[in-house]
Amino acid sequence: MKIRTSYFYQIRNFKQNMIPVSTCLSDPIWYQPPDGEEYYFDKRGIVCGLRYEPLIVQYMGTCSCPCENKNELKGQCTTMKEYRQLLETVDFDKMIKGFNYCANKFHRPFDEEPIIVLIVYEAPNNPCSERKMLQEYFNEHGIECKELEYPIN
């Protein structure tokens, strides 16, 4: 199993071995499963609706985006510091077990390695995204995590 980061827009290009897992406070309406369901499959067979709640923070920072506050260094704003603190509270082993369960349950076709794709809102060129912290966090725990490569082949 591989772990990558991406954003909601790219799910339209995912292959069936890519399993999106939202890390966002709220998801686009099209990603949300029907009432009473935990997930659904889109018309291409991509599972949608999965979330990992321990990676979701309710921001308490004074600015909604570091780019809005020019006095703060990019990546060092209150919001990003809070996200880093949140990551330190996550039970890493439990999370990996959950991701392995999802990889075994949802991955198709079976001849391709499953990829858990942690979904964030921002595009990769936004320096104010939690994606860099997620990547650092997994890499620090010995699991390679980087941005999904585009275009997706």
What confidence tens digit (pLDDT) does each residue in 98-115 have? 999 999 999 887 788 999
* Domain assignment of residue 59, yes or no: yes
Count Cβ atoms within 10 A of the Cβ of residue 134 and give its class: 0-12 exposed, 13-18 middle, 19 or more buried.
buried
Indicate the number of domains in the chain. Answer: 1
Q: Which residues pair with 20 in a beta bridge?
A: 117
* Domain assignment of residue 153, yes or no: no
In contact, 21 and 102? CB cutoff 8 Å: yes
32: Cβ contacts below 8 Å, ≥ 6 apart: 49
* Domain assignment of residue 152, yes or no: no
User: In this predicted structure, what is the pLDDT of residue 65?
Assistant: 55
Parent domain of 137 = 2-147
User: In this predicted structure, what is the pLDDT of residue 126?
Assistant: 77
CA-based nearest residue to 95, from 49, 50, 48, 54 = 54
* Domain assignment of residue 37, yes or no: yes
In contact, 83 and 133? CB cutoff 8 Å: yes
Q: Please report, in angstroms and rounded to a whole number, the separation of the first and last CA atoms in the chain.
A: 18
Helices (H), the chain: 78-87, 92-106, 131-140
Residue 82 pLDDT class (50, 70, 90 cuts): confident
